[in-house]
């Protein structure tokens, strides 16, 4: 791998606005990667999944039903149109900057170069499937079915999300639950007919307090009402309000308990005459440790030791596509991509010195699993 060539290719990818809600940008990234992997004489195909999303990319070395090693990445970022024009790819003090530079466009190229080198060394023996989706940053709402299908067929799954700023990989991930709750009341003049009104905001306020009571730090459960909307004028009893809720849990049992508790709140409406509509649920299942994953972690640690790479672990409150494929049976190791920090931030960065070790580690993991 020539680092100068890699960085020029990374610059091209980063300078494409490929936010989850910019399908044409995701497809530009997809087209570039399609050509690169096709040049390795691999089986490459695009997956159309929705008019509202870009394509997904699937790459295989063998036309097998079952997959020995699934390698996952995503082509989308959290940023909107025009972000790469405002702050294009730059390099300063051995760090690269730009939208999606570490989350996770750098890893897409690391995967390519690891596979290229394995092919050149005649070391790509197992059935390998690489999948890049278009909507990971919005919980893979369009590509989930594809990911679940690939996960069911896979023995192992390597998730190339970025390593943490301190170089740690991710051991366990919390599950992610999302809800939108709507409150439908009755409007009235707040001066002349206040009593006839049924305030949606009043009901919402009680729900916010009750929802936050579901947080349990000892169990690792957090509930956050992050967005509330409602009202049109101070002199109108509010007929409509809504809130959006983000919940993180460590196990499926806790997710079921929280979902039940939220729906039971409908049985205790505080503001009579207000209708409550709940939409949502578990978007990414928790990814707890298992014996199989512990064994895989040991293999990764051995691979790192052989490459003089310090492999260490941390837990994460955020989800990844690893949660999805783990929930259908794949044995997952997560966040083994290049090192960086401040993802989803205008100061997001990639440690350039971590690129080459990331490629070496991925290669050695694949060899050991073969």
Residues with active-site annotation: 76, 136
Residues 6+ apart with CB under 8 A from 305: 311
Residue 332 CB-half CA count within 13 A: 30
Angstrom distance (rounded) from CA 116 to CA 110? 10
Q: In what order do the strands lie in the sheet with 43-47?
A: 43-47, 56-60, 128-133, 67-74, 154-159, 331-333
Task: Quote the radius of gyration of the chain (alpha carbons, Å).
Answer: 23
Q: In what order do the strands lie in the sheet with 90-92?
A: 90-92, 95-97, 349-351, 340-341
132 CB neighbour count, 10 Å cutoff: 30
Under DSSP, the state recorded for 126 is S
Residue 26's nearest CA partner among 37, 13, 35 is: 13
Pair 162, 335: CB distance under 8 Å: yes
Phi-psi category of 197—alpha, beta or left, where left has phi over 0 and alpha has psi -120 to 50? beta
């Amino acid at each position: 791998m020539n680092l100068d060539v890699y960085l020029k290719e990374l610059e091209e990818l980063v300078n494409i606005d490929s936010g989850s809600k910019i399908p044409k940008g995701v497809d530009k990234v997809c087209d570039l990667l399609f050509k690169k992997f096709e040049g390795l004489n691999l089986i490459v195909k695009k997956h159309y999944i929705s008019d509202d999303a870009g394509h997904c990319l699937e790459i295989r070395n063998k036309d097998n039903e079952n997959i020995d090693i699934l390698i996952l990445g995503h082509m989308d970022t959290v940023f909107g149109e025009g972000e790469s024009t405002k702050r294009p790819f730059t390099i300063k003090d051995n760090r690269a900057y730009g939208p999606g530079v570490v989350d996770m466009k750098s890893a897409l190229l690391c995967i390519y170069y690891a596979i290229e080198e394995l092919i050149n060394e005649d070391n790509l023996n197992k059935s390998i499937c690489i999948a890049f989706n278009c909507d990971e940053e919005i919980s893979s709402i369009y590509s989930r079915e594809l990911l679940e299908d690939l996960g069911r067929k896979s023995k192992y799954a390597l998730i190339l999300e970025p390593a943490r700023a301190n170089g740690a990989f991710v051991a366990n991930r919390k599950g992610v639950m999302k809800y939108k709750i709507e409150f439908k009341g009755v409007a009235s003049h707040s001066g002349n007919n206040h009593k006839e009104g049924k305030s949606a905001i009043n009901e919402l306020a009680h729900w916010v307090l009750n929802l936050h009571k579901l947080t349990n730090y000892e169990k690792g459960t957090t509930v956050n009402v992050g967005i509330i909307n409602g009202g049109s004028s101070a002199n109108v009893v509010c007929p409509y309000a809504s809130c959006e809720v983000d919940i993180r849990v460590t196990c499926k049992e806790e997710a079921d308990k929280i979902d039940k508790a939220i729906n039971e709140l409908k049985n205790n409406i505080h503001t009579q005459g207000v209708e409550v509509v709940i939409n949502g649920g578990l978007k990414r299942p928790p990814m707890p440790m298992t014996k199989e994953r512990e064994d895989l972690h040991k293999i990764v640690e051995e691979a790192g030791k052989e490459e003089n790479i310090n492999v260490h672990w941390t837990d994460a409150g955020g989800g990844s596509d690893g949660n999805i494929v783990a929930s259908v049976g794949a044995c997952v190791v997560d966040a083994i991509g290049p090192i960086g920090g401040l993802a989803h931030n205008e100061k997001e960065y990639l440690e350039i010195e971590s690129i080459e070790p990331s490629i070496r580690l991925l290669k050695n993991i694949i060899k050991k699993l073969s």
